[in-house]
Structure 1
Amino acid sequence: MEVTLTKDDIFLPEYRGRLTEGISFNKNINAVLWVDIRLAQLHRYKLDSSKHEVLELPEGESMGTMGFTSDNDVYLIGTKNGISRANFNTKEITFLKEYPTDNAKLRSNEGKVDPWGNMIIGTMCDFPYEHNMEPIGTLYRINSSLDMEILETDCFVPNGLGFNAEKTKFFWVDSETNTIFQYDYDPQTHEFSNKQPFFKLVQFCEGAPDGMFLSTKEEFWVATFGGSCVLRINMKGELVQKFNIPAKQVTCMTIGGGYLWINTCLIGSTDLKNKAELTTEGDLGGYLFKYKLDEDVGEEAQYLFNFQ
């Protein structure tokens, strides 16, 4: 079954970002959060009050992902060189720790908090090196003491990830390979093993798999960068539903409050100092989208990072 979104499904038509990512739904405060990688911004929009808050890093920085903590005002974020704490109460972003790999070409990309309160986060080529992609990224697991354990090296574009319900399988995207990989996972020792391809996106559409999560109903939801769609795929690797998006570069999505929330990327603009044009003609990349789901498809589980 296919669903086609239009400009009428734009969420916040007065806002258009550059490379929006990491969209998440905080049901505790009925709020939507996301990052803009290029502008190094963390956004929070409270649906009850229509309050749109933005925390921002200086020019030259980037912000790849965010994770929830037990404090609804505090979030762990991946920045260019490491991880930081963002606090909407104090309006401050505090740098916490550098990645152990010292490479000026790298930046944070996608990440999520795992069921045990660790942050799993990947690094990849920063701008403008992403146009000549090299497998120099790393996938890290960061614990409450901010110790950084290397899970994978030689990564191209570390992206979406998730666990099955039993926590015995781990799934992870390396976008440049067009592949979602699966691993055996031991929930007692927290060791990964037996890496193998689960499926390739090319069998369903153009583009590359970007943001991904496993819903509480054990279905994969996959954003397609260059494919203009969000895919819903079951554990057998079969396509269940396709959501066509009026933006070619779809980067991430989540489910919360009965809605599908979607990030996209603005194509072509390199001017970061001025606001993006709020036109609804042509490719609608940079806008967020919101679609009311007509069935219970589960949601994305949100785990909390444990600061020591």
Structure 2
Amino acid sequence: MTKVYELDESNIFFKKYRGELTEGITYNPSNDTLLWVDIIRGEVHRVKLSREEEEEIEKSHEVLKFEDGQESIGAIGLTNDDNIVIICAKYGICKGNFKKGEIEYIVEYNHTQEQKKRLRSNDGIIDPWGHLWIGVMTDFPVAEQEGVKPEGRLYRINCHDLTIETMVQDCFISNGLNFSFNGKKFYWTDSLTYKIWSFDYDYISNTLSNKQEFINMKTIETGESPEPDGLTIDKNDEIYSAIFSAGKIVHLNQQAEITEIFKLPTPKITCVTIGGSKNNQLFITSAKDGSLGGYLYKIQLNKSLNGKIKFVWGGKS
């Protein structure tokens, strides 16, 4: 039986902050901090979770931001240095330094000039071996004129030599992705197909195979456009997926059965992560709209969610 949790305005986390398109929510257990990005504003944010009072959270709030207004940030990855993060920017991968307040590119995508105009980074993760997987998709100005085109790709960036390999191509919105606990299964979302896919993954050859439809949200949701967005996975290989436009997080077991639904008071839910020192909290991002979008949300549960710690970049910090 599916459990349903109804959230409301009281679940807003850090009420003094409201973004445009918040995404990439990440918990760092090393220093008990929560990080997220605002794609449109080109910002990376960080707060300390040990500061429970709103004023204390605000005091701990740090922001890394591009000076170039044309930039965007789709996702982030942790490193062995708590003050340095991997940033997935419009043209490639950067390192951001919270101590210095700086962002600098370390590698650009192998894009043509036309692709540089049309594409941007979207969701990404660090894999169990320290490499970065990052999707690119049609950028906002192009999408406003032409719609989102099947020109997206999923790249793997080797942490040792920064070589870039294409793992998936000709997709719409490369989105929520993660590995099974043993690293042999890979889950990946193409939002405009409404599907999460599963693959077999061989690390030695770095190949994906046996692509299978894991779930099609269009067959389950009654809404017009229930797009699976960002996701996280626990040690039991159960997925928590944010369903954009449907205003909810769905918890899926290994058989793709929905065991829990968390309903949010705003429709445009973008990403979710498991966090907190006791692994008993869900943190959720959203896109700004006329309701309560753009805020972060926190769900406090009375059980440990058995969250899988996010891996760190295996290259130099």
User: Shorter-normalised TM-score: what interval?
Assistant: over 0.9
Give 1:95's aligned residue: 105
> CA-to-partner distance for each residue in 1:257-289, whole Å, 9 max, x for gaps?
12100000012xxxxxxxxxxxxxx62110000
Q: Report whether the alignment pairs 1:213 with 2:223.
A: no
Secondary structure in structure 2 of the residue aligned to 1:202? helix
Give 1:143's aligned residue: 158
Whole-Å Cα distance in 1 between the matches of residues 4 and 135 of structure 2?
32
Q: How many residues align?
A: 294
8 A Cα contact 2:167 2:207, kept in partner: no
8 A Cα contact 1:11 1:290, kept in partner: yes
Whole-Å Cα distance in 2 between the matches of residues 165 and 261 of structure 1?
21
8 A Cα contact 1:256 1:300, kept in partner: no
Whole-Å Cα distance in 1 between the matches of residues 185 and 30 of structure 2?
28
Give 2:295's aligned residue: 287
Secondary structure in structure 1 of the residue aligned to 2:124? strand
Secondary structure in structure 1 of the residue aligned to 2:243? strand
8 A Cα contact 1:262 1:289, kept in partner: yes
Give 1:32's aligned residue: 34
Give 2:212's aligned residue: 196
> What code does the residue aligned with 1:303 have?
F
Give 2:73's aligned residue: 63
Give 1:5's aligned residue: 7
8 A Cα contact 1:83 1:95, kept in partner: yes
Among 100, 124, 132, which residue is 1:111 paired with? 124
Q: Which moved more, 1:48-57 or 1:109-118?
A: 48-57
How far is the alpha carbon of 1:90 from its aligned partner?
Answer: 1.0
8 A Cα contact 1:10 1:287, kept in partner: yes
Whole-Å Cα distance in 2 between the matches of residues 255 and 122 of structure 1?
22
Q: Report whether the alignment pairs 1:230 with 2:252.
A: no
How far is the alpha carbon of 1:154 from its aligned partner?
Answer: 0.6
Q: Report whether the alignment pairs 1:52 with 2:26.
A: no
Instruction: Give the TM-score of the pair, scaled to structure 2.
Output: 0.90
Secondary structure in structure 2 of the residue aligned to 1:128? helix
How far is the alpha carbon of 1:174 from its aligned partner?
Answer: 0.5
Q: Which moved more, 1:18-27 or 1:49-58?
A: 49-58
Q: Which 5+ residue runs of structure 2 have no aligned equivalent?
A: 52-56
Whole-Å Cα distance in 1 between the matches of residues 31 and 179 of structure 2?
25
Whole-Å Cα distance in 2 between the matches of residues 168 and 307 of structure 1?
22
Give 1:279's aligned residue: none
> What code does the residue aligned with 1:263 have?
T
How far is the alpha carbon of 1:27 from its aligned partner?
Answer: 1.1
8 A Cα contact 2:283 2:299, kept in partner: yes
8 A Cα contact 1:211 1:253, kept in partner: yes
How far is the alpha carbon of 1:95 from its aligned partner?
Answer: 1.2
Instruction: Give the TM-score of the pair, scaled to structure 1.
Output: 0.93
> Could you say which structure has the higher helix fraction?
2
Give 1:278's aligned residue: none
Give 2:180's aligned residue: 164
Secondary structure in structure 2 of the residue aligned to 1:305? coil
How far is the alpha carbon of 1:146 from its aligned partner?
Answer: 1.3
